[in-house]
Amino acid sequence: MNPKLQALAKGIKSNPYEASGDIYHPLPFPEFQDLTTSSDARSAYRKWALVKNCLPLRSSFSNPRVLDIGANAGFYAFNFAKLGAIVDAYEPHKHYATIGHQIVEATGLSVRWYNKKLERTDLLDKQYDIALMLSVFQWISEGDSHIDRATDLLRLVASSSRVLIFELGCNHGKSAIHTEERPIVWIWRLLQQNTSPKRVAYLGQITPWGRARRYIFACAEDLIKLNIWQRLITYVLQHQWVWK
Ligand SMILES: C[S@@+](CC[C@H](N)C(=O)[O-])C[C@H]1O[C@@H](n2cnc3c(N)ncnc32)[C@H](O)[C@@H]1O
How many independent structural domains does the chain possess? 1
CA of 83 to the centre of ligand 1 (A): 22
Tell me, yes or no, whether 62 lies in a domain: yes
Q: What size, in residues, is the chain?
A: 244
Query: Per residue in 78-111, pLDDT tens?
Result: 999 999 999 999 999 999 999 999 999 999 999 9
Q: Which helix (H) or strand (E) holds 29?
A: none
Tell me, yes or no, whether 1 lies in a domain: no
- Show the DSSP H helices in the chain as ranges: 3-14, 41-54, 75-82, 94-107, 137-140, 147-159, 183-194, 228-238
Which atom number of ligand 1 is nearest to the Cα of residue 208?
9
Ligand 1 site: residues with CB under 6 angstroms? 25, 69-70, 72, 75, 90-93, 96, 117-118, 134-136, 139-140
Find the CATH number of the domain harbouring 214.
3.40.50
User: Model-level pTM?
Assistant: 0.96
State residue 101's pLDDT score.
Answer: 97
Query: Per residue in 46-87, pLDDT tens?
Result: 999 999 999 986 666 788 999 999 999 999 999 999 999 999
Domain that holds residue 179: 39-70+118-238
Query: Per residue in 148-204, pLDDT tens?
Result: 999 999 999 999 999 999 999 999 988 999 999 999 999 999 999 999 999 999 999
Tell me, yes or no, whether 27 lies in a domain: no
Tell me, yes or no, whether 31 lies in a domain: no
Closest CA to 72 of 27, 110, 36: 27
CA of 119 to the centre of ligand 1 (A): 14
Tell me, yes or no, whether 229 lies in a domain: yes
State residue 58's pLDDT score.
Answer: 67
Closest CA to 242 of 199, 182, 200: 182
Q: Are strands 65-69 and 86-90 parallel, antiparallel or unpaired?
A: parallel
Q: What span, in angstroms and rounded, lies between the C-alpha atoms of 178 and 159?
A: 26
CA of 68 to the centre of ligand 1 (A): 9
Query: Per residue in 115-127, pLDDT tens?
Result: 999 999 999 999 9
Tell me, yes or no, whether 146 lies in a domain: yes
Answer yes or no: are the C-beta atoms of 130 and 66 closer than 8 Å.
yes
